[in-house]
Structure 1
Amino acid sequence: MTPVKEFGECLISVGDKDYFFRPSLLAMSSIGEPVEIVQTFYDLCNDEVTSLIQKAAESYIHSEYDRLPEYVISYIQSGILSRKAIMAAHTVLSACCEDDVGELIGWMKPGKSRKRGFMWRRGILPPQDMVIIAQSLMMHGIIGQAKLRKLQRYESNEPTNEFRASDYIIAARNHFNVSKEEAAQLTMTEFQMMLVAKYPEQKGYTREEYDTAADDYFARRKRRQAKAL
Structure 2
Amino acid sequence: MILTDIGEIGVHYKGNTYILRPSLYAMTQIGDKKEILLSYAIVMSEFTDKKSKWRQFNEALAVINSCSEVDLSEVFGYLNDKCKYVKKAANYTDVIAIARSLLKHGITGAQEPLKNKEPDQSTYTNEFKASEHVSLAMAHLGVTEKEAWNMTMTSLVGAMRAKFPEPESNEPGSKAPTKEQHEATMEWFEKIQRKRGQKVH
Would you say same fold, with TM above 0.5? yes
Residue 162 in structure 1 maps to residue 127 in structure 2: yes
> Deviation at 1:201?
5.0
Take 1:148 and 1:158, find their aligned partners in 2: how far apart are those partners? 15
Q: Note the C-alpha offset of 1:199.
A: 1.6
Secondary structure, counterpart of 1:47 in structure 2: coil
Which stretch shifts more, 17-26 or 149-158? 149-158
Change (3 A) 1:173 1:154: farther
1:82 counterpart residue number: 53
Task: Provide the residue aligned with 2:71 in structure 1.
Answer: 100
Question: Match of 2:131, SS?
Answer: helix
CA RMSD of aligned residues (A): 2.2
Moved more, 157-166 or 94-103: 157-166
Q: Does 1:14 align with 2:13?
A: yes
CA distance in 2, matches of 1:150, 1:87: 37
Which consecutive unaligned segments of at least 5 residues does structure 1 have?
51-78, 112-117, 206-229
Give the match for residue 100 of structure 2.
135
Work out the number of aligned pairs and report it: 170
Read off the aligned partner of 2:154 and give its amino acid letter: T
Superposed CA offset, 1:43-102 (max 9, x none): 11223359xxxxxxxxxxxxxxxxxxxxxxxxxxxx898111111111111011111111
Contact 1:151 1:204 in 2 (8 A): no
SS of the residue corresponding to residue 19 of structure 1 reads strand
Deviation at 1:170, TM superposition (A): 0.7
> Following TM superposition, by how much is the alpha carbon of 1:200 offset from its aligned partner in structure 2, in angstroms?
2.5
1:145 counterpart residue number:
110
Please report how far the alpha carbon of residue 204 of structure 1 lies from its aligned counterpart in structure 2 after TM superposition: 4.5
The unaligned stretches of length 5 or more in structure 2 are 171-201
1:102 and 1:145 map into 2 onto residues whose CA distance is 27
> What SS is found at the alignment partner of 1:31?
coil
1:178 aligns with 2:143: yes
Q: TM-score of the superposition, structure 1-length normalised?
A: 0.68
Structure 1 residues 108 and 22: CA distance shift in structure 2, 3 A: same
Moved over 6 A (4+): none
Distance, in Å, in 2 between the alignment partners of 1:125 and 1:101 is: 10
With structure 2 as the length reference, what TM-score do the two structures score?
0.77
Could you tell me which residue of structure 2 aligns to residue 202 of structure 1?
A: 167
1:159 Cα deviation after fit: 2.4
CA contact under 8 A between 2:6 and 2:154: conserved in structure 1? yes
Instruction: Please tell me whether residue 30 in structure 1 is matched to residue 29 in structure 2.
Output: yes
- Secondary structure, counterpart of 2:80 in structure 1: strand
SS across alignment from 1:11 = strand
Q: Which of 114, 117, 122 is the aligned partner of 2:87?
A: 122
Q: Distance in 2 between matches of 1:163 and 1:196?
A: 20
Name the SS for the 2:99 alignment partner.
helix
**Deviation for aligned residue 1:110:** 4.1
